[in-house]
Amino acid sequence: NAGVMQNPRHLVRRRGQEARLRCSPMKGHSHVYWYRQLPEEGLKFMVYLQKENIIDESGMPKERFSAEFPKEGPSILRIQQVVRGDSAAYFCASSPRTDSSYEQYFGPGTRLTVT
Amino acid sequence: DQQVKQNSPSLSVQEGRISILNCDYTNSMFDYFLWYKKYPAEGPTFLISISSIKDKNEDGRFTVFLNKSAKHLSLHIVPSQPGDSAVYFCAASQKYSGAGSYQLTFGKGTKLSVIP
């Protein structure tokens, strides 16, 4: 059973460009979470999605950031007009979200560097 | 406003001894707690969890203790092995949070070094 897949693993963008990060959840998982980790910090929640629905985006910056989880294909986190402060590791997690399972399983992350 | 705190940035332990990692939280609405282990350049790996209705959960060498009145939990690793060297994150979840998202709130992590 393959784990959570994220690509690319490393992404370099110049200021003002767009960054697109992809996440494929574990097989059988229909719930996807995105987290961001700044250097020397813990992971911070950004957004929670189910297929075709954004359930909770309370951790998402109001501008330039968007996320989707289409019916077919991976979940996408999009950052428009990137700035240096967007440089971080972005982790995706998936969960089966049954009544007995709250655990979230994380992918390897995408390390975004904005130059 | 940090709702989950890991006050020790680092911890060194001799191989074979017990490692104790601590975590405090401030939000009394948290009802599920998890520990993750993270190696550099990898994603966090789930280790063990505990519901607020319990005060202890054990899985092999790993035991998590929860003291709700003190809003404190700890992870015990016995015996510690060099492969346990990693950053350990404490995380908490609120069963009903906004739309019931179960988002995790993480501490900043404790770097454990197990010395052979």
Q: What are A66-112's pLDDT values in tens digits?
A: 999 998 899 999 999 999 999 999 999 998 866 556 688 999 999 99
Please state the φ and ψ torsions of residue B92, each to the nearest 5 degrees: -135, 150
Residue B100 reports pLDDT greater than 70: no
Tokens of B48: 């063990």
Residue B105 reports pLDDT greater than 80: yes
Helix (H, G, I), strand (E, B) or coil at A56: strand
Higher pLDDT, B31 or B11: B11
Over residues A11-25, the mean pLDDT reads 97
Please state the φ and ψ torsions of residue A55, each to the nearest 5 degrees: -90, -40
CA–CA min distance A55, chain B (Å): 7
CB contact under 8 A, B106 and A108: no
Over residues B83-89, the mean pLDDT reads 97
Helix (H, G, I), strand (E, B) or coil at A97: coil
Q: What is the pLDDT of residues B26-36, one digit of tens each?
A: 999 898 899 99
- Give the closest residue to B8 by CA, choosing from B105, B94, B70, B90: B90
**Using the 8-state DSSP alphabet, how is residue A26 labeled?**
P
Q: Specify the residue for token string 């070094």.
A: B113
Q: Does B7 touch chain A (CB under 8 A)?
A: no
Nearest residue in chain A measured CA to CA from B102: A102
d(Cα B84, Cα B15) in Å, to the nearest integer? 10
CA–CA min distance A23, chain B (Å): 13
Q: Specify the residue for token string 């784990």.
A: A3
B107 contacts on A by Cβ (under 8 Å): 42
d(Cα A74, Cα B111) in Å, to the nearest integer? 32
Which of B4, B103, B105 lies at the smallest CB-CB distance from A56? B103
Q: Left, alpha or beta for A64 (phi > 0: left; psi -120 to 50: alpha)?
A: left
- Give the closest residue to A31 by CA, choosing from A66, A4, A58, A8: A4
B97 contacts on A by Cβ (under 8 Å): 56
- Check residue A36 and give its pLDDT: 97
- Give the closest residue to A111 by CA, choosing from A92, A93, A88: A88
Q: What is the pLDDT of residues B41-67, one digit of tens each?
A: 899 999 999 988 999 999 999 999 999
d(Cα A50, Cα A23) in Å, to the nearest integer? 13
- Check residue A51 and give its pLDDT: 87
CA–CA min distance A49, chain B (Å): 9
Q: Which of A50-64, B12-26, B87-101 has the lowest mean pLDDT?
A: B87-101
